[in-house]
């Protein structure tokens, strides 16, 4: 039986950023794709860009697991970030 790592999304301050776009239309497409699987995806306006974040999660371990899940499912590597 495979060992599935559980990720609790909704608590914590760490996120996986899966994209950043100048155009809101492109950001919205990625956001909608992420929302199909991750109900806590969000668009974060950042310095003239629209970043797409999935999370939050509580620990770096959970963030890395979430990052791997997104890579496997959507072929998007993303990176771990946090609330400032």
CATH code for position 76: 3.30.70.1070
In a domain, 28, yes or no: yes
Residue 62 has pLDDT above 70, yes or no: yes
Cβ neighbors of 58 (< 8 A, separation 6 or more) are: 8, 11, 12, 14
Return the pLDDT at 11: 86
Return the pLDDT at 7: 81
Residue 34 has pLDDT above 50, yes or no: yes
Return the pLDDT at 8: 78
Greater pLDDT, 6 or 26: 26
In a domain, 3, yes or no: no
Residue-number span of the structural domain to which 38 is assigned: 14-82
In a domain, 7, yes or no: no
Number of domains in the chain: 1
Please give the average per-residue pLDDT across 27-45, as a whole number. 95
In a domain, 69, yes or no: yes
Q: What does the block give as tokens for 83?
A: 């609330």
């Amino acid at each position: 039986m495979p060992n599935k790592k559980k990720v609790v999304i909704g608590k914590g301050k760490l996120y996986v950023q899966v994209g950043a776009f100048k155009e809101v239309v492109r950001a919205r497409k990625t956001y909608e794709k992420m929302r199909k699987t991750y109900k806590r995806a969000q668009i974060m306006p950042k310095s003239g860009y629209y970043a797409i974040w999935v999370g939050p999660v509580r620990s770096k371990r959970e963030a890395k697991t979430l990052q791997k899940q997104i890579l496997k499912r959507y072929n998007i590597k993303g990176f771990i970030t946090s609330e400032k």
